[in-house]
Amino acid sequence: MKKPYLRAKSAFSIDEYPDSASFTAGYLTTSNGGWRSLRPRPDASKCVMCGQCYLHCPDGTIYLDDATGSYAVDLDFCKGCGICARICKPRAIAMIPESAV
């Protein structure tokens, strides 16, 4: 799966600014994980693999993990909105306060 990803470099010096109006697509330098006050925790044993959480995530942070075969959350970019937990019919996603993690 391809998606925009975090680059190691986070700051730019003035002579590195592009000299035209175009720039590399899919270039990220900061994560959004710190926005979150609640964290989704999917429970694979309750999951029915309908993929509704993956479809409805406005940030596209839920993905099918090929290693485990179940849905996982990219916590670098999840903002903790809770749409996934609400859309989930079998209630397999719990929203846990970040302070409790």
Partner 1 sequence: MKNLDKNEYFFGHKACAGCGGALAVRIALKTLGERAVAVLPAGCMSAVGFNFPQLAFANNAIISTFAGTASMLTGIVSGLRARGETGFTAVGFAGDGGTADIGIQALSGAIDRNDDILYICYDNEAYMNTGVQKSSLTPFGARTTTTPAGDRIRGNIREKKRMFEIVAAHGISYAATASVGYLRDYVEKIRKAAAVRGAKYIHVLAPCPTGWGTGADETVELAAEAVDCGLFPLREFSDGKFRVTIRRTPNAGAIRAHLARQGRFRHLTEEDIEHVISLTAARSNHL
Could you list the residues that contact partner 1 (CB under 8 A)? 1-6, 12, 23-32, 35-36, 51, 55-61, 64, 77, 79-83, 85-87
Burial of 92 (0-12, 13-18, 19+ CB in 10 A): buried
Smaller CB separation from partner 1, 36 or 73: 36
CB of 32 to partner 1, least distance (A): 7
Smaller CB separation from partner 1, 18 or 100: 18
Q: Give phi and psi for 85, each to the nearest 5.
A: -65, -35
Owner of token pair 């990803």: 5
Q: What does the block give as tokens for 1?
A: 């799966």
Half-sphere exposure of 42 (CA within 13 A, CB side): 27
Smaller CB separation from partner 1, 7 or 46: 7
Non-local CB neighbours of 96 within 8 Å, separated by 6+ positions? 38, 39, 40, 41
CB of 7 to partner 1, least distance (A): 8
CB of 25 to partner 1, least distance (A): 5
CB of 33 to partner 1, least distance (A): 11
